[in-house]
Structure 1
Amino acid sequence: MEKDSKIYIAGHTGMVGSALVRKLKGEGFSNLIFRTSKELDLKDQSAVTAFFKKEKPDYVFLAAAKVGGIKANDTYRADFLYENLMIQNNVIHQSYLGQVKKLLFLGSSCIYPKMAPQPIKEEYLLTGELEPTNEPYAIAKIAGLKLCESYNRQYGCNFISVMPTNLYGPGDNYDPETSHVLPALLRKFHEAKKAMETVGQIAPTSPAVKSIKTRSELVEVWGNGTPRREFLHVDDLAEACFFLMQHYNDTQWLNVGTGKDLSIKDLAEKIKKITGYRGGITWDRSKPDGTPRKVLDISRIRALGWEPKIKLEDGIKMVYKQKFRN
């Protein structure tokens, strides 16, 4: 990419898209184009066609997607499949028709089989059954990856795909209904801590004390705490994407992560400590745990010269300060 290249970031208001915008601007790229979902519905084929004909971008980062945690994925299955298929099909096809020099497609580590060997290598794709709770989203992302691969092979396009692990960072979703595990826990522990502080400010005889104490003395977490997950700060992902757009031109999709994981129980304890919450934790074992373990093999991208920089504890501290302590 040249500094004056016209670059379209699809999904620029999301966590990944905004991180890409920060990175590109920080590197001196100023000819950036984007549209909000209200200005351009990426599910609308005719609207996307008109946009590409008018703007004629040189490079595209496809970070737009409908995303959510276990509950959202399992509840809105049709929406996750339909909307993600439409978004990526329209953008990828118009990038081909518009002769975009290079496109980077953001997938997800959930594309891999539920019981894939650990750490997960790129070649494990389509070797087993998917995790049922996020199967529609995973199928959409697999389709996007394969679409990029197929346009490369049939038409000689330069469309690359990256499969990031679980992400967190500025711009994350903290909605209790749709958020992923790390932001959900940050919100739960923070609110329980604030409730506990409120108890100390109310007279012991107040009727409100019992209600607030109930909410503050135990934080409920889904599952049994044993599943293991890997987490990558979104700014590290943006660094990886920028690096690959500059140096990588292969059809083979690449994993992007840290190569390190921890249990949900250990994550909960870490967040409890960072937030300063002094109550207890209870586990709702009636709720799904998801995949038992998911950590990526990142040897391919490491061999190219990229490494993650932000340690998990440091990253969570930064996010907590930005979101809840300003």
Structure 2
Amino acid sequence: MTASTESVHAPIELAGRRVWVAGHRGMVGSALCRRLGREQCRLILAERSALDLRDQAATTAWMEQTRPDIVFIAAARVGGIVANASRPADFLYDNLMIAANIIHAAYRVGVEKLLHLGSSCIYPRDTAQPIREEQLLTGTLEATNEAYAVAKIAGLKLAESYARQYGCRFVSALPCNLYGPNDNFDPETSHVLPALIRKFHEAKTQGRPTVTIWGSGRPRREFLHVDDLADACVLVMRRYDGPMPINIGADAEISIAGLAALVAEVAGYRGRMTFDFTRPDGPPRRLLDVGRIRALGWQPSIDLRRGIEETSRHWIDHAADGRDLRGGRYRLA
């Protein structure tokens, strides 16, 4: 591990600090709140109805009033391939404004440390695997989520620039595909894993003989339970101050076809799977190099099968009582 990955500051103690989780209603934000509940810190939360993070004046005023010591940026507009491709302006504008407003206000009010969360999808489409942090901006982005990726890269570079120019302790983390409680299960806008959970559950309960999977099933992806991510984020906040973003991944991959088979098995679905080759696949492979985060002593604790079982129960419990799991506008991929 190179010196650039090591902390050059004293570790952050969360006890007694005022901690703001931006986007606390989303999948990642709610997981962070659960994890931070084990710390002796004071959580500061802003409801979406009371604070539009795309509004610079409102965001700055709120932060000047509340004066958080620690900030986790888990707020973002996110969605699957269809949502990204059909609403690029929304994804680019909203995510640019959210990141820029929070990061600039954090500098103005003297936030002690800030963690900006990006995504593995901001790496080049055809880059070498596993993906090291140094490979960012070395190739062409995946076209289906280019707008989201550009916005997230801008946020990452803004945090990096404030650190370089002003000495701010602003860092960025890049997680792989995430899933878990409070995910978005909407069939048109969700990511692949929650979409599959819903598809197979509904197919079983409705007695459908086939389930159609978007794409060829050949791309390989890496999936991390959101509670494991939250644990990693707390560690990064405490101990990481490197100039590079830091990858957070499961260090294991599975094909979409293999994932679908696993979800079907967990759901108890015994029908047939077909693949819709007219739907886009996205990048053929995306696996993160997790050397930096492993060097800090972190590794995931929830394996994929167990995570799918728990997330499936979450979906079934909420679907049964009629609650809408599409989620809010500020969510993290």
TM-score after normalising by structure 1:
0.93
Matched, 1:106 2:98: no
- What is the aligned counterpart of 1:17 among 23, 26, 29? 29
Write the deviation string for residues 121-159 of structure 1: whole angstroms up to 9, x where unpaired: 111111110000000000011101100110000000000
- What is the aligned counterpart of 1:253 among 235, 245, 258? 245
- What is the aligned counterpart of 2:131 among 93, 108, 120? 120
CA distance in 1, matches of 2:19, 2:102: 13
Write the deviation string for residues 244-288 of structure 1: whole angstroms up to 9, x where unpaired: 111112221100001110100000000000000111111100010
Offset at residue 325 of structure 1 (A): 4.6
Partner of 2:170: 159
Contact 1:105 1:162 in 2 (8 A): yes
SS at structure 1 position matched to 2:211: strand
Partner of 1:51: 62
Relative contact order higher in (CA < 8 Å, ≥ 6 apart): 2
- What is the aligned counterpart of 2:231 among 239, 257, 281? 239
CA distance in 2, matches of 1:156, 1:269: 49
| Cα distance, 1:292–1:50 mapped onto 2, change above 3 Å | same
- What is the aligned counterpart of 1:227 among 219, 232, 238? 219
CA distance in 1, matches of 2:40, 2:289: 32
Contact 2:119 2:174 in 1 (8 A): yes
Divergent runs of 4+, >6 A: none
CA distance in 1, matches of 2:243, 2:20: 21
CA distance in 1, matches of 2:286, 2:244: 20
CA distance in 2, matches of 1:112, 1:278: 37
CA distance in 2, matches of 1:149, 1:96: 12
Partner of 2:306: 314
CA RMSD in angstroms comes to 0.9
Partner of 2:6: none
Contact 1:68 1:179 in 2 (8 A): yes
CA distance in 2, matches of 1:175, 1:53: 36
Gaps of 5+ in 1: 197-215
Offset at residue 323 of structure 1 (A): 2.0
Offset at residue 4 of structure 1 (A): 1.5
Contact 2:14 2:39 in 1 (8 A): no
SS at structure 1 position matched to 2:241: coil
Matched ranges for 1:132-281 at <5 A: 132-196=143-207, 216-281=208-273
SS at structure 1 position matched to 2:282: coil
CA distance in 1, matches of 2:214, 2:81: 10
Write the deviation string for residues 92-132 of structure 1: whole angstroms up to 9, x where unpaired: 00000000000000000011000010111111111110000
Partner of 2:9: none
**Residue range with higher mean Cα deviation, 69-78 or 247-256:** 247-256
Matched, 1:70 2:62: no
**Residue range with higher mean Cα deviation, 225-234 or 33-42:** 33-42
Q: Which amino acid aligns with 2:18?
A: K
SS at structure 1 position matched to 2:33: helix
**Residue range with higher mean Cα deviation, 56-65 or 245-254:** 245-254
SS at structure 1 position matched to 2:37: helix
SS at structure 2 position matched to 1:251: coil
CA distance in 2, matches of 1:251, 1:37: 31
CA distance in 2, matches of 1:325, 1:87: 32
Contact 2:113 2:168 in 1 (8 A): yes
CA distance in 1, matches of 2:34, 2:40: 10
Larger radius of gyration: 1
Partner of 1:6: 18
Offset at residue 322 of structure 1 (A): 2.1
Contact 1:159 1:251 in 2 (8 A): no
